[in-house]
Amino acid sequence: MKRSVFRSLLLSGVLLGVFSSAHAENIQGLKASISDKYVSIEWTPLADQITFDTDGYAVQISQSKEKMRNVDTTEKIVFVKQNESVLSLFAPAAFKNGEDYFVRVYTYIKEVRSLTLTNGSKIVKFRIATSGDKFVSATETLEPNDPVISNTETDSIFSFGKLSVKNPIDTQVDFFWSRPNLTEQDFDGFVVVISKEQSLANPVTEAKVGRDVSSMQVQGLAPETTYYAKGCFVKKGQKFGDSAVETFKTSKMLTEAQKLTLARLLTRGVIKRSDTVVKVDGSSTTAATTTTPASTTTSTSTSSTTTGSSTTSTTTTPSATTSSSSTAAAKTSYTKKEIQDKIKALETELKLWRQRLLKATR
């Protein structure tokens, strides 16, 4: 299947789990009824943001339950427009009296000779019979048995990959990940979901960052607490391409001596700093500026700034900022590594300001 079809799937089906689940029960309310010799097949339409990049609905009809799957595109299929949610068929012409039929509805994407069924409903089984000169029907709702629509190519395109958990201490943790094989049109950014439950129910935060970020530090966690986390992409508010769930436990509150040790490790570059700091504040998160190594900047005396409604933090360890800023100001020569670190920090900060400029001009 062509990549353009996968990109359409990203917007229409994958966001709701077609690639990650063996069942795709996204379309609700499917029912079949008969009136005046016409079989009426109806369903609850999906939201516009799900169907806008599809070609409409596809109603699958068969006398075999085993063929009511999202990969069986050779069965009888009737196509319906996006803005319609009912299909009427003349019963004497479409169905044999007294025999069982199965019906299911999907969204679909068609490109040349390729047909992809996404967002499937459950299956409705029904039988048409005559009672005098009237047609009557009996119906039953059945569970589908879709195979996973996935292969190596699609996995590599949509998989978040490995979410690496680093440096969990008393109230914070760092996350790192690889850059994805996606275009800017494919996704809006990254989200790390953190919860105290392995199922990731009731998350303590869903920390979101932009496309140009490949790591984040989450602050405001509870000490001595076990957490579970996963990374995923986000597009128009919908999450997809989930990573495997990772677990970590925060430590006891650090002592002042431990904080000083941490500050020295950060200053020397022994501990890799994250691109962005995100703070946990109830159910909401506040994006922060890139954490800049204190040994390579002279502006670390400012602990926080406010831009619009979002608060940004410039360092994760105030003690490191205080102890190293005067040293940095007094230096007249730098090592190659210090120069490289400075360039990297400035490039990262430049990306952040470009993002802010883009947001401000929208």
Question: Per mean pLDDT, which of 45-54, 192-201, 332-341 is the most reliable?
Answer: 192-201
CATH code for the domain in which residue 233 is found: 2.60.40.10
Task: Say if residue 25 is in the same domain as residue 135.
Answer: yes
The residues near 192 (Cβ < 8 Å, ≥ 6 apart) are: 163, 175, 206, 207, 216, 218, 229, 230, 231
Query: Does residue 187 sit in the same domain as residue 316?
Result: yes
Residue 151 placed within a domain: no
Residue 135's pLDDT band, with cuts at 50, 70 and 90, is low
Beta bridge partners, 290, equal none
| pLDDT digit string, tens, across residues 233-247 | 988 888 888 889 999
Paired with 131 in beta bridges are 134
> Token pair for residue 188?
């809006």
CA atoms within 13 Å, Cβ hemisphere of 60: 28
Q: Is residue 154 part of a domain?
A: no
In the three-class reduction of DSSP (H, G, I as helix; E, B as strand; rest coil), residue 61 is classed as strand
Render pLDDT for 3-43 as a digit per residue (tens, 0 to 9).
343 444 443 333 333 333 333 347 999 998 888 888 899 99
pLDDT band at 330 (very low <50, low <70, confident <90, very high): very low
Q: Are residues 123 and 192 in the same domain?
A: no
Residues 82, 125, single domain; the answer is: yes
Domain boundary among 112, 142, 172: 142
- Report how many domains make up the chain: 2
Residues 75, 179, single domain; the answer is no
Which pLDDT belongs to residue 323? 34
Q: Which amino acid is at 105?
A: V
Judge if 250 and 135 occupy the same domain: no
| 117 in any annotated domain | yes
In sequence order, what are the residues at sequence separation of 6 or more whose Cβ sits closer than 8 angstroms to the Cβ of residue 135?
A: 34, 37, 91, 128, 129
Closest alpha carbon to 262 in 233, 299, 238, 291: 291
Same domain, 114 and 192: no
- 147 in any annotated domain: no
In a domain, 266, yes or no: yes
Q: Which residue has the higher pLDDT, 109 or 134?
A: 109
Task: Between 309 and 99, name the one with better pLDDT.
Answer: 99
- Let me know if residue 283 belongs to a domain: yes
Residues 234 and 85 in one domain: no
Q: 180 and 312 share a domain?
A: yes
Same domain, 167 and 95: no
Is 307 found in the same domain as 275?
A: yes
Q: Are residues 272 and 124 in the same domain?
A: no
**Which structural domain, as residue segments, surrounds residue 119?**
3-142
| Predicted TM-score (pTM) of this structure | 0.41
Quick: pLDDT tens for 272-313. Answer: 777 788 888 733 343 333 333 333 333 333 333 333 333 333
Examine the fold and report which residue of 91, 108, 142 is the final residue of a domain before the chain moves on.
Answer: 142
Q: Is residue 155 part of a domain?
A: no
Q: Which residue has the tokens 């392995």?
A: 198
Domain end (from 115, 142, 169):
142
Taking the C-alpha atoms of residue 84 and residue 6, their distance in angstroms, rounded to an integer, is 24
Name the one residue in this structure whose structure tokens are 């994958």: 14
Identify whether 149 is part of a domain. no
Distance CA 305, CA 257 (A): 28
